[in-house]
């Protein structure tokens, strides 16, 4: 069994692969103060609920953008799983990704591990020029060439951050739920106007950035554009330029990286 862990600023996504199958996955809140023992208790609870024998885990790969949590997860995995692992836990960064993807940016050490994982995962599936959009705490656009070169991208505030800012910094704008779209782009009330601004506004902005990035990539044909992340299903229906949603992209990328380096875990 292979345990894959993607630690983000807001959420941590954990998956368990048996052969080529994602047998189980969980989305957890990222607690930046979580201790090694608290992570172990969380593990035990999740595995027990899913009737999964944790002693059968033979491989672990971790992608993180939160250094303190990365250290805690690594210590937890080393402490509780090391006797059964066929190799040490694999930590994704620009150095461990060497040979898997070319990182053609000014400072390779600055790029988030999840962005490299997503780029490689998308390239492994599509083998073409790509723009990968991840709807996380921030929304990231990552550009990948057909030769599996990560050439950079853009970063902008995520949907939740924008909603929080609107409610916190204005006297009369409320916290809203955007799981249902407004009846019209022209909002007839405050809540619908806010929904329209977020959904259609982000949709139009994404389409515009995809156009600009595609022109900068100077490819003969427009790059394939795909999205992942928690808010993708809400925003992408209001875009015209994004053709695919791959919600398990990061977990699939972690699986691809580990099995490329070490071979398949049964």
Active site residues: 114
The span from the CA of 182 to the CA of 39, in Å, is: 40
Element (H, E) at 138: strand 138-144
The span from the CA of 138 to the CA of 21, in Å, is: 29
Residues 6+ apart with CB under 8 A from 250: 6, 13, 63, 114, 117, 118, 121, 134, 228
Q: How far is CA 260 from CA 95, 97, 255, 263, in A?
A: 15, 11, 8, 6
């Amino acid at each position: 069994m292979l345990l894959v862990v993607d630690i983000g600023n807001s959420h941590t996504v954990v998956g368990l692969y048996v052969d080529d199958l994602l047998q189980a996955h969980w989305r957890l809140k990222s607690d930046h103060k979580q201790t090694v023992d608290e992570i172990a208790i969380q593990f035990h609870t999740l595995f027990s609920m899913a009737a999964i024998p944790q002693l059968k885990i033979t491989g672990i790969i971790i992608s993180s953008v939160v250094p303190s949590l990365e250290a805690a997860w690594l210590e937890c995995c080393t402490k509780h799983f090391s006797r059964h692992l066929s190799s040490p836990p694999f930590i994704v960064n620009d150095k461990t990704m060497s040979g898997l993807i070319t990182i053609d940016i000014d400072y390779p050490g600055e790029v988030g591990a999840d962005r490299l994982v997503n780029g490689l995962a998308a390239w492994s599936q599509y083998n073409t020029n790509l723009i990968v959009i991840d709807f996380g705490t921030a929304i990231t656009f990552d550009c990948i060439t057909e030769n599996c070169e990560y050439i950079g991208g853009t970063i902008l505030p995520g949907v939740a951050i924008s909603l929080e800012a609107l409610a916190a910094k204005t006297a009369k704008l409320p916290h809203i739920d955007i799981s249902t779209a407004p009846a019209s782009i022209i909002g007839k009330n405050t809540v619908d106007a806010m929904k329209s601004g977020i959904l259609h506004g982000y949709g139009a902005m994404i389409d515009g950035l995809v156009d600009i990035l595609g022109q900068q990539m100077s490819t003969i044909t427009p790059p394939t554009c795909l999205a992942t992340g928690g808010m993708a299903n809400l925003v992408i229906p209001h875009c015209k330029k994004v053709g695919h949603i791959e919600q398990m992209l990061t977990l699939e990328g972690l699986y691809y990286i580990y099995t490329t380096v070490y071979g398949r875990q049964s």
